[in-house]
Amino acid sequence: MRSVLTLPFLAGLATSLPSPAQQPFSLESDLAGERVNVSLYVMSRCPDARLCENVFQSVIQQEGILDKIDLNVGYIGTPNKTEPLGVTCKHGQIECIGNAHQICLYEHLPVDKAYAVVQCQNYPSTFPKEIGSVESIQKCVKTVGIDWVNSGVGKCIQGKNFNQTLETPQKHKGKDKPEGGGDDEVKLLGKEATQLLKRNIKEVYDKGITTSCTIDIDSTVNKAGKRRCVVDGGVWKGCDDGHTAQDFIRVIEEEYKNLQSKKDE
Ligand SMILES: *[C@@H]1O[C@H](CO)[C@@H](O)[C@H](O)[C@H]1NC(C)=O
Ligand SMILES: *[C@@H]1O[C@H](CO)[C@@H](O)[C@H](O)[C@H]1NC(C)=O
Ligand SMILES: *[C@@H]1O[C@H](CO)[C@@H](O)[C@H](O)[C@H]1NC(C)=O
């Protein structure tokens, strides 16, 4: 209907990518045989991240794809020494806590399991209300069939309180439960979770990535060296190769094939 709106965008793209033609170019031999780097940059309480992660779930579930990629999930925020957690998050301190919870999942679980827990958290129509609550992530970890204590996730998230499953501060029980993210929750967050959060956010910040959700697929086929796709305000942008799960799978297969072919040269 308003397709004219895409024109300025396409024009911008043409100038930022000198050669949109996708021709294999020579690549350093030390990349040969590697997996395809795939990065999702998100914020745990962001609806665009939820949309992105939902589409990407079908990519992850595609048979064999996890053997061909290194999936990195980065959280967007601003390093800030005056904050209790050392970072500022767009949707408040509760989002920083939610990010830390999810980073603990990716640190301690196989990526498909971690992803399934995040999807469980994203699923409710009340999203993002539950994100950042220990109770919610414990429920989802259990739903996916992971042991809170033995997996290491509990210790990462709760620190020394890790073996007290479903432990929730009494005052947060009941209907008038506040949104959370106060200093109590910050104190309850494990040391490991806090350290991982700071490191993860700094890495993404240093890369200059500010839009949740951004999907980057490192490319050795495309001269730009990267295939980027962004969801912003519910709108997909810059996705030259398409933005369905099938499109992402096709691109990953193509990149993987190129990396493997370099191995035999
Ligand atoms: C993937 O990322 C790692 C770490 O940044 C880098 O060392 C490696 O060369 C990348 N591999 C490919 C195939 O792009
Ligand atoms: C850093 O955190 C303080 C609160 O501790 C906040 O007032 C300030 O805006 C934050 N700075 C940035 C750059 O986010
Ligand atoms: C669980 O934590 C309590 C203290 O909160 C401790 O006494 C107990 O040994 C812990 N159990 C395990 C299995 O780590």
Domain-ending residue, one of 207, 226, 255: 207
Domain-ending residue, one of 162, 189, 207: 207
Question: Ligand 3 centroid vs 146 CA: distance in angstroms?
Answer: 19
Total number of domains in the chain: 2
Question: Ligand 3 centroid vs 194 CA: distance in angstroms?
Answer: 22
Among candidate residues 256, 232, 189, the one with its CA nearest the CA of residue 90: 232
Ligand 2 atom having least distance to the Cα of 88: 14
137 shares a domain with 114 = yes
Q: Report pLDDT for 211.
A: 96
Q: Report pLDDT for 175.
A: 41
Does the CB atom of residue 80 touch ligand 2 within 6 A? yes
Is 234 inside any structural domain? yes
Is 22 inside any structural domain? no
Q: Report pLDDT for 188.
A: 86
Burial class (CB in 10 A: 0-12, 13-18, 19+), 172: middle
Is 165 inside any structural domain? yes
Place of tokens 């609806």: 47
Instruction: Write the single-letter amino acid at 199.
Output: R
Among protein residues, the one with the nearest Cα to ligand 1's atom 1 is: 37
Q: Report pLDDT for 223.
A: 86
217 shares a domain with 181 = no
Among candidate residues 45, 41, 42, 49, the one with its CA nearest the CA of residue 180: 45
108 shares a domain with 59 = no
Eight-state DSSP code of residue 34: P
Q: Report pLDDT for 248.
A: 97
Is 11 inside any structural domain? no
> Dihedral sign, CA of 182, 184, 186, 188?
negative
Does the CB atom of residue 216 touch ligand 1 within 6 A? no
Rounded Cα distance between 140 and 137, Å, is: 5
Does the CB atom of residue 78 touch ligand 2 within 6 A? yes
CB 211 within 8 A of CB 232: yes
Does the CB atom of residue 218 touch ligand 1 within 6 A? yes
Write down the number of H helices and E strands in the chain.
9, 7
201 shares a domain with 90 = yes
Is 236 inside any structural domain? yes
Kindly report the CATH number assigned to the domain that includes residue 36.
Answer: 3.40.30.10
What domain range includes position 111?
A: 81-207
Ligand 1 atom having least distance to the Cα of 31: 13
Q: Report pLDDT for 156.
A: 97
- Which one of the ligands is nearest to 83 CA? 2
201 shares a domain with 92 = yes
- Mean pLDDT for each 10-residue chunk of the chain (265 residues)? 36 38 49 88 97 96 96 98 96 96 98 97 94 94 96 94 57 48 81 97 98 96 92 95 96 95 71
- Which one of the ligands is nearest to 74 CA? 1
99 shares a domain with 68 = no
Is 5 inside any structural domain? no
Rounded Cα distance between 201 and 198, Å, is: 5
